[in-house]
């Protein structure tokens, strides 16, 4: 039993060094369904639900390889290596080679290419081999220099007076090239910066501009919903978010609540806006007041998803609020156009049926303490009566 648990642990979460020697361990008979699961907690991971199908890996020679954070690429397995999800491989780069982790094989790679097509499909590079211990030594040495390089490059950019922020540095697997990710509001002339960085670090320099949302995805974190950021886990294409999305959903226009960790409007505001727009088309105009026999009602607020509206007898404040359905509001507007006025705005009969009551809100939680006190008083009263009864029944002393 103990050996099976060890084998299961190695299969589900092998270390990078363990996979570097002989690739990822082959799944056992009981672990075939786990081939599509991630073998490490990496960003933008995709569950390969076709991994258990025989011959899936032979449908195409393309594989998806992920590098640091959110950088992915597609490569040809021209050497017909037996690659599986989680294998660490050395791939072609310009110049030299890079080290990455295989995240997809088989048919799902073609679907991923449709979703995020490469710039030039004819220039797709190839996989060289599975990594060797020598490759991993160079890889770890290059990765250990990234943080120090980022801090020093920020100081160099500041000394040159450039309006930019270097957010991250990624060394290539062989250490011959470094990618500097930077954020800038406008165009930056970094020709002098590249020369200084090349002299300082003795590597080939590549500058790549990213946005604030992409930087938040690379850094990671948790949102107000309690879950990991969408830009960190699955989002790759970012769509601009406008305040119109908040207005359609009747959200409070508070910059502190609407902004995410990137200081931009939250991407999740776009997730449900289409449903709100479609539901709002079935609602009456908010500018039209409702005329009734007992007065005029003005729009106060709306609950789009429940298809209800609340009207007030005052334009500026909540007074005599009445909540009705959108259908009832449209009927009243149609009656007003014909010169008719209903007797009252809400024509529903009062519901006298027993509704669900939350017992926790009925009384205070201290009501149980009061009951205990009453029981104690009752016990004391019973004890006094019993004593009085025994005293009355006792025989009178003889003279």
Q: In this structure, are 123 and 161 located in the same domain?
A: no
Task: Report whether pLDDT(380) > 80.
Answer: no
Contacts of 125 (CB under 8 A, 6+ apart): 73, 75, 76, 91, 92, 93
Q: Which of 90, 105, 132 is where one domain is finished?
A: 132
The answer to whether residues 7 and 126 belong to one domain is yes
Domain finish residue from 132, 156, 178: 132
301 within some domain: yes
Token duo for residue 134? 């020598």
User: Worst-scoring range by mean pLDDT, 17-26, 50-59, 307-316?
Assistant: 17-26
Which residue segment(s) compose the domain that 271 sits in? Answer: 239-279
**What kind and span of H or E run contains 72?**
strand 72-76
* 127 and 50 share one domain: yes
Residue 250 backbone class (left: φ over 0; alpha: ψ -120 to 50; beta: rest): left
Question: 158, 122 in Cβ contact below 8 A?
Answer: no
* Residue 228 included in any domain: no
| CB atoms near residue 60 (< 10 Å) | 16
Q: Would 362 be classed as within a structural domain?
A: no
pLDDT confidence bin for 148, thresholds 50/70/90: very high
Instruction: Tell me the per-residue pLDDT of 295-308, one tens digit each, with 9 for 90 and over.
Output: 899 999 888 888 89
Is the CB of residue 118 less than 8 Å from the CB of residue 109?
no
Task: Specify if 333 maps to a domain.
Answer: yes
Lowest mean pLDDT among 2-6, 33-37, 250-254, 372-376: 2-6
Q: How far apart are CA 275 and CA 143, in angstroms?
A: 45
User: Would you say residue 387 lies in a domain?
Assistant: no
Q: What is the pLDDT of residues 108-127, one digit of tens each?
A: 899 888 887 887 877 899 99
Q: Are residues 26 and 117 in the same domain?
A: yes
Q: Taking Cα atoms as reference points, which of 205, 148, 201, 152 lies closest to residue 181?
A: 205
Residue 194 belongs to a domain with what CATH number? Answer: 3.30.300.20
Q: How many angstroms separate the Cα of 237 from the Cα of each of 161, 209, 246?
A: 32, 15, 21
Q: Do both 205 and 244 map to the same domain?
A: no
**In the predicted model, what is the mean pLDDT of residues 261-274?**
89
Tell me if 207 is assigned to some domain: yes
Q: Convert the pLDDT of each residue in 289-341 to its tens digit.
A: 999 988 899 999 888 888 899 999 888 888 888 899 999 999 999 999 998 88
**Are 10 and 115 found together in one domain?**
yes
What is the Cα–Cα distance from 286 to 131, expressed in whole angstroms?
Answer: 65
Tens of pLDDT, residue by residue over 200-237, are 999 999 999 888 888 888 888 888 888 888 888 888 77
Report the number of distinct structural domains present in the chain. Answer: 4
- Asked if residue 107 and residue 56 are part of one domain, the reply reads yes
Distance CA(274)–CA(266), nearest Å, equals 16
Is 96 inside any structural domain?
A: yes
Peptide bond into 72 cis (omega under 30): no
Contacts of residue 369, defined as CB under 8 A and 6 or more positions apart, other chains included, come to: none
* Cβ atoms < 10 Å from Cβ of 182: 22
Q: Is residue 43 part of a domain?
A: yes
Name residue 182's beta-bridge partners. Answer: 166, 209
Does the pLDDT value for residue 15 go beyond 70?
no
């Amino acid at each position: 039993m103990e050996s099976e648990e060890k084998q299961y642990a190695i299969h589900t979460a092998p270390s990078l060094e363990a996979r570097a020697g002989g690739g990822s361990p082959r799944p056992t008979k009981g672990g075939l369904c786990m081939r599509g699961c991630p073998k490490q907690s990496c960003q933008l991971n995709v569950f390969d639900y076709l991994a258990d199908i025989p011959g899936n890996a032979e449908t195409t020679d393309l594989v998806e390889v992920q590098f640091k954070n959110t950088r992915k690429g597609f490569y040809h397995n021209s050497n017909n290596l037996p690659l599986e999800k989680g294998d660490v491989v050395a791939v072609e780069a310009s110049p030299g080679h890079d080290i990455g982790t295989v995240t997809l094989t088989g048919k799902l790679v073609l679907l991923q290419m449709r979703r995020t097509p490469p710039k030039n499909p004819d220039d797709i590079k190839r996989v060289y081999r599975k990594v060797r211990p020598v490759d991993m030594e160079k890889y770890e040495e290059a990765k250990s220099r990234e943080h120090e390089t980022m801090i020093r490059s920020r100081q160099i950019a500041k000394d040159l007076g450039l309006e930019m922020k270097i957010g991250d540095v990624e060394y290539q697997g062989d250490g011959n090239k470094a990618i500097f990710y930077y954020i800038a509001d406008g165009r930056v002339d970094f020709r002098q910066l590249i020369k200084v960085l090349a002299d300082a670090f003795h590597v080939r320099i590549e500058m790549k501009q990213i946005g604030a949302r992409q930087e938040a995805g690379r850094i990671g974190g948790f949102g107000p919903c309690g879950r990991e950021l969408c830009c960190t886990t699955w989002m790759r294409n970012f769509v601009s978010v406008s305040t119109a999305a908040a207005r359609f959903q009747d959200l409070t226009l508070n910059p502190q609540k609407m902004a995410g960790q990137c200081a931009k409007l939250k991407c999740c505001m776009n997730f449900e806006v289409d449903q709100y727009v479609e539901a709002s088309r079935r609602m009456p105009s908010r500018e039209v007041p409702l005329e009734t026999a007992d007065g005029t009602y003005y729009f106060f607020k709306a609950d789009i998803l429940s298809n209800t509206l609340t009207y007030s007898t005052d334009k500026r404040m909540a007074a005599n609020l009445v909540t009705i359905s959108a259908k009832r509001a449209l009927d009243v507007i149609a009656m007003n156009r014909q010169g008719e006025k209903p007797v009252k705005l809400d024509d529903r009969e009062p519901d006298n049926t027993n509704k669900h009551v939350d017992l926790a809100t009925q009384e205070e939680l201290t009501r149980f303490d009061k009951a205990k006190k009453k029981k104690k008083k009752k016990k004391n009263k019973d004890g006094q009566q019993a004593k009085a009864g025994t005293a009355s029944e006792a025989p009178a002393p003889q003279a």
